[in-house]
Amino acid sequence: MQLVIVESPAKAKTIEKYLGKDFKVLASYGHVRDLPPKDGSVRPDEDFAMDWELYRDKQSRFKEISDAAKKADRLVLATDPDREGEAISWHVRELLGKRKALPAKVERVTFNAITKNAVTEAMGRPRDLDHDLIDAYLARRALDYLYGFTLSPVLWRRLPGAKSAGRVQSVALRLIVDREREIEAFKPDEYWSVVAKMEQDGTAFDARLVRFDGEKLDKLTLGNEGSAMKAKEAVEQGRFTIQEIETKPLTRNPSPPFTTSTLQQEAARKLGFSASHTMRLAQSLYEAGAITYMRTDGVQMDGSAISACRKAISERYDGHYLPEKPRHYSTKAKNAQEAHEAIRPTNFLQSRAASGDEAKLYDLIFKRAMASQMAPARLERTTGTLLDASGRHELRATGQVVKFPGFFAVYQEGRDDSEDEDDNLLPVMHKGDCPAKTGVEANQHFTQPPPRFSEASLVKRLEELGIGRPSTYASTIQTLRDREYVRMEKNRFFAEESGRLLTAFLERFFERYVAYDFTAGMEDELDEVSGGREEWKALLEQFWRDFKPKTEEVMDRKPSEVTEVLDEYLSDFLFPPREDGKDPRTCPLCEQEGREGGRLALRGGKFGAFVACANYPECKYTRRFAQPGADGDAAEDGIMGKHPETGLEIHRKTGRFGPYVQMGEGKDAKRASIPKDLPDFDLEWAIKLLSLPRIVGEHPETGNEIEANIGRYGPYLRHDGKYAKLQTTQDVFDTGMNAAVTLLAEAANRKGGGRAKAEPIKTLGEHPTSGGEMKVMPGRYGPYVTDGTTNATIPKDMKPEDVTEAQAIELIDARAAKGPPKKKARKKAAPKKKAAAKKAPAKKAAAKKAPAKKKAPAKSKQAAKKDADD
């Protein structure tokens, strides 16, 4: 028997169809072991010795592989054709060797696509494991471990609220924070544009003023309304004729097929997919044999694929759409060993594959690959120059027309934050024509700050800087979101205050290790290792020699010293100049109440950093870290007015967690946070918030009250211990009985509450083995997937609505392989007391009491650490 090892059961199932009966294909389900998450897993003092630990949930899975290997004559390691795939194969071989289950013949095969031809050809061309790629994997894994496990404890002890740091993660976070700083520092400039609305032969077009009173206009020349109105008046009074018509041909060539990075970018732009979702879909398409391997830096296609693509183009379109010679693209990857064929369909005759989001992604991949071999698009750009009688005022109209679509017929690449003024069509015009002027507009504009990063633009920027590798971008971005260092709003990254503080800490104390050039240089060195041109332990030694002393130096500082340094480092952000010219560190509350010495500074607390007054505890003024200056909150603090019923004063205050209102003092004081969706906050709103909770009325079925209120997670309805979410603060006061009953019923249905049957989140196809329809369902303990027989929990990092058919099969099969869930053993009931005549022996036996256990003395920190390491 020949044993073949791959990563996933879906891939195993597909490959087993192509191989003979002599082959048994088993899945490792990804990596089988890793460095234990504790100190000492990598030991620099012992020549960077590394300890590996088999994942607990892979114990039974690997036993199956080990048992099969003992019976096999040949072991074929057929994991993915990249560094991670090489590492999985290495781990499997090492573990089998330790268990003395390694067959006499061990070989490695790789294929770029899971098709019968690719698999059978690969089986005929086996090789040894690539030790250069394995060394590169070991170097990366050790670097990430040493960086994270050495730096994170420093953060926990010296920067309250920080969760972790990572070699690539921290630099990606710095990019987002730096962009936030650029936006905050940006000062908008006013400018105006003057546009004439023209018409020629029934076709309307715009002509922009480009020269006024003999002076060429730049973007900011018309900087105020007065100059703009003068220019508008001149255009209105002038009679403009066509002075010149210039026509230029343009050619646009297609983009190469997708790499990992460009696929993530384009799927984000065109489909709105996150990087992690895109990679999950691509993995499923690859394992189903629909596309080639999805982790690649290469842009070239195999010669046979180019021929197949050109044939498909010639069958779909006439000869003009097919160039005379095939197009060849050169890769920008720095290491050829890690650059494979571009992502493309395995069959160019198959224009559709899969369903749902997988089908959308396949369509994108198919069209991009086909367009890459098509003829260029030919366009014609026309520019018309119009002058008035004096010759001192000039208008310009531009437009373009597609003369031959070429690859546009299949695909056009998306763009980030682009503005194209040349896409308008112009009428046929000749020199001397005098188009009709139907109106003139003077429009006010302001220069805009650089846009916040989207997933697509962040991935693009990381790749441009050479930071990380495209295959890791999805997990890097997900980590930033999981750690709550950033948040997404309208598909843009916003830096959270914890992310800003962490970045400031790293820039101040570990500047070298979050520098873009240092991180990019480290990637170059790792590429040198994978190319066999550098020794991996020498790379680690060079890194550790400087990094370890730096962490020890910071650890020797007191938390208060760290806070003082950050206070000075962030002073421009936290305390920007005041409009009145006074000291920006002056406490507004002390200033208002006439106290001296009220000076603001950064402080560290249990839940993170905040700004506080030096007069504490006499002055209890605080504000959140991410509130530069007063931010409008503290400046508005004070008495808002009196409550119409109680007569008590209502105060507006700013605390560590933001602005709030308070009525009364001491234990009887009533407080309410001011929601962010109330920009025009006044006394009326303060009274409303302090009146909460609001009773909507009695539920028509139960007779119990329905309550509307605002909680930790936003506005909500409550009835009989069940909740329903409201959208806005206004809804808390406006929602009536009918709407409330409906919202509560819908929420109960979504959660499977009451008698209503839970509706599936998503319905998939039939399970290939059980034949049952697979559904993604909401559950009491989280979403799960089921085929009617087996229920499998959906991992936390996977969105239930994103689960694909292949993933559902994999989850159900993995759960079924574990067998039915073990029932918890019930405790036996205590035996009933026997008759009084038979109590004596029992009493005698009970007389012997076990000696009381002495409380063990507390271990020292060093002893506890040693136990953890052991």
Three-class SS state of 360: helix
Could you tell me where the DSSP H helices lie in 402-469? 455-465
Kind and range of the H or E run holding 807: helix 805-817
Q: Is 621 labeled as catalytic in the residue annotation?
A: no
Could you tell me where the DSSP H helices lie in 382-423? none
Q: Is the distance from CB of 162 to CB of 445 less than 8 angstroms? A: no
Three-class SS state of 680: coil
The CA R_g of the chain, rounded to the nearest whole Å, is 34
Q: Is the distance from CB of 102 to CB of 63 less than 8 angstroms? A: no
The C-alpha atoms of residue 504 and residue 480 are separated, in whole angstroms, by 16
Which residue type occupies 845? A
The C-alpha atoms of residue 485 and residue 501 are separated, in whole angstroms, by 9
Residues recorded for the chain: 870
Contacts of 625 (CB under 8 A, 6+ apart): 497, 500, 501, 574, 602, 608, 609, 610, 611
769's tokens: 């083995």
Give the residue among 60, 31, 3, 25 at the shortest CA–CA distance from 814.
60
Place of tokens 């500074």: 601
The C-alpha atoms of residue 774 and residue 762 are separated, in whole angstroms, by 9
The phi and psi torsions of 40 (rounded to 5 degrees) equal: 95, 0
Three-class SS state of 291: strand
The phi and psi torsions of 851 (rounded to 5 degrees) equal: -65, 140
β-pairing, 784-786 with 773-777? antiparallel
The C-alpha atoms of residue 111 and residue 78 are separated, in whole angstroms, by 8
Give the residue among 705, 799, 727 at the shortest CA–CA distance from 761.
799
The C-alpha atoms of residue 396 and residue 383 are separated, in whole angstroms, by 7
Three-class SS state of 207: strand
599's tokens: 């000076």
458's tokens: 């962040």
Contacts of 442 (CB under 8 A, 6+ apart): 192, 193, 194, 225, 228, 229, 231, 232
Three-class SS state of 319: helix
Kind and range of the H or E run holding 487: strand 486-489
The C-alpha atoms of residue 84 and residue 472 are separated, in whole angstroms, by 11
Report DSSP state, residue 87: H
The phi and psi torsions of 346 (rounded to 5 degrees) equal: -80, -15
191's tokens: 């400018």
Give the residue among 307, 281, 309, 294 at the shortest CA–CA distance from 341.
294
Give the active site residue among 191, 293, 321, 485: 293
β-pairing, 638-642 with 622-624? unpaired
Three-class SS state of 7: coil
The C-alpha atoms of residue 642 and residue 182 are separated, in whole angstroms, by 42
Residue 201 falls in which region: left (phi positive, over 0), alpha (psi -120 to 50) or beta = left
The C-alpha atoms of residue 783 and residue 781 are separated, in whole angstroms, by 7
β-pairing, 42-43 with 49-50? antiparallel
The phi and psi torsions of 801 (rounded to 5 degrees) equal: -75, -15
The C-alpha atoms of residue 15 and residue 115 are separated, in whole angstroms, by 8
User: Annotated active-site positions, please?
Assistant: 293
